[in-house]
Structure 1
Amino acid sequence: MFSLDPLNYHPIFPATMTGRRFEQILRCLNCADDENKEDNLYKVSSLVKSIIQSNQNMFSPPEALSLDESLLLFRGRLRFRVYIKNKKSKYGIKFYELCSNDGYVLNIEIYKGKSNREDVSGSSKRNSLVLRLLEPFLDKGHHIYMDNFYNSVQLSEILLQRKTHSTGTLRSNRKGNPKEVTGAKLKSGQHIWRRKGNVYVSKWRDKRDILSITTGYKPELVETANRYGHKKTKPLMVSCYNDNMSGIDRADQIISYHSCPRKTIRWHKKVIFHLLDIAVWNSHYLHNHNQKDNKTFKEFRNDLIKSLLGISPDQRDGREFVSLMKKTKSIPSKKSRENLGHVLEAIPVPENKKGKKQIYKRCKQCYLEQRRKDTAWQCRDCIGKPSLCVGDCFQVWHKA
Structure 2
Amino acid sequence: MNYEREQQYLGQLFDEVATDEEPFDDDSSLQDDDEETQDHNTDDEQDIDDPNNILDLPDEIMEEVAHEKAAYYIGKDGQTKWRKHPGNSQVGTSTLNIIKFLPGVKGNAKGLKFAAEIWSLFFTNEMLQVIVDNANIYIGMCNLNPNNRSTRPTDIIELKALIGLLYICSMSKNSRVNASDLFRTNGTSMEIFRLTMSRERFRFLLQYIRFDYKNTRIERQKYDKLAPIRKIFDSFNSNLSKYFCVSELTTVDEMLVAFRGRCRFRVYMPNKPNRYGIKMYSLVDAKLFYTANMEIYGGQQPIGPYKVQTDNVSLLSRLCHPISGSSRNITMDNFFTSMAVANALSTNHKLTILGTIRKNKRELSLEFVQPAKRPNQISMFAFQDKATIVSYIPNKNKNVLMLSTMHHNENKINQKTGKPQIIVDYNQTKGGLDTVDKMCAAYDCVRATRR
Q: How far apart are residue 10 of structure 1 and its match?
A: 2.9
Q: How far apart are residue 31 of structure 1 and its match?
A: 1.4
Q: How far apart are residue 112 of structure 1 and its match?
A: 0.7
Bigger Rg, which one: 1
Distance (Å, rounded) in 2 between the aligned partners of 1:259 and 1:23: 18
Tell me what 1:223 maps to: 414
Q: Does 1:139 align with 2:325?
A: yes
Gaps of 5+ in 2: 1-187
Q: How far apart are residue 11 of structure 1 and its match?
A: 3.0
* Cα distance, 1:115–1:17 mapped onto 2, change above 3 Å: same
Q: How far apart are residue 114 of structure 1 and its match?
A: 2.8
- Contact in 2 for aligned 1:181/1:201 (Cα 8 Å): no
Higher relative contact order (CA 8 A, sep 6+): 2
TM-score by length of 1: 0.59
Trace 1:1-400 onto structure 2 (pairs within 5 A): 10-32=190-212, 34=216, 36-38=220-222, 39-102=224-287, 103-115=289-301, 125-161=311-347, 162-185=349-372, 186-207=374-395, 208-218=398-408, 219-223=410-414, 231-266=416-451
Q: How far apart are residue 263 of structure 1 and its match?
A: 2.0
Q: How far apart are residue 159 of structure 1 and its match?
A: 1.1
Distance (Å, rounded) in 2 between the aligned partners of 1:166 and 1:135: 15
- Contact in 2 for aligned 1:181/1:194 (Cα 8 Å): no
- Contact in 1 for aligned 2:283/2:319 (Cα 8 Å): yes
Q: What percentage of residue pairs aligned between the two structures are identical?
A: 28
- Contact in 2 for aligned 1:168/1:212 (Cα 8 Å): yes
Q: For residues 250-280 of structure 1, what are the alpha-carbon distances to aligned partners after superposition, in whole Å with 9 as ceiling and x for unaligned?
A: 11111211211112223xxxxxxxxxxxxxx
Which residue identity is paired with 1:12? I
Q: How far apart are residue 177 of structure 1 and its match?
A: 2.4
Distance (Å, rounded) in 1 between the aligned partners of 2:190 and 2:419: 55
- Contact in 2 for aligned 1:178/1:194 (Cα 8 Å): no
Q: For residues 304-349 of structure 1, what are the alpha-carbon distances to aligned partners after superposition, in whole Å with 9 as ceiling and x for unaligned?
A: xxxxxxxxxxxxxxxxxxxxxxxxxxxxxxxxxxxxxxxxxxxxxx
Corresponding residue pairs, total = 250
Which residue identity is paired with 2:299? G
Q: Name which of structure 1's ranges 29-38 and 250-259 shifts more when overlaid on structure 2.
A: 29-38
* Cα distance, 1:116–1:24 mapped onto 2, change above 3 Å: closer
Distance (Å, rounded) in 1 between the aligned partners of 2:417 and 2:384: 28
* Cα distance, 1:124–1:237 mapped onto 2, change above 3 Å: farther
Distance (Å, rounded) in 2 between the aligned partners of 1:239 and 1:57: 32
Q: For residues 182-229 of structure 1, what are the alpha-carbon distances to aligned partners after superposition, in whole Å with 9 as ceiling and x for unaligned?
A: 2333220211122233111221111221001000114423325xxxxx
- Contact in 2 for aligned 1:83/1:90 (Cα 8 Å): yes
- Contact in 2 for aligned 1:97/1:105 (Cα 8 Å): yes
Gaps of 5+ in 1: 1-7, 225-230, 267-400
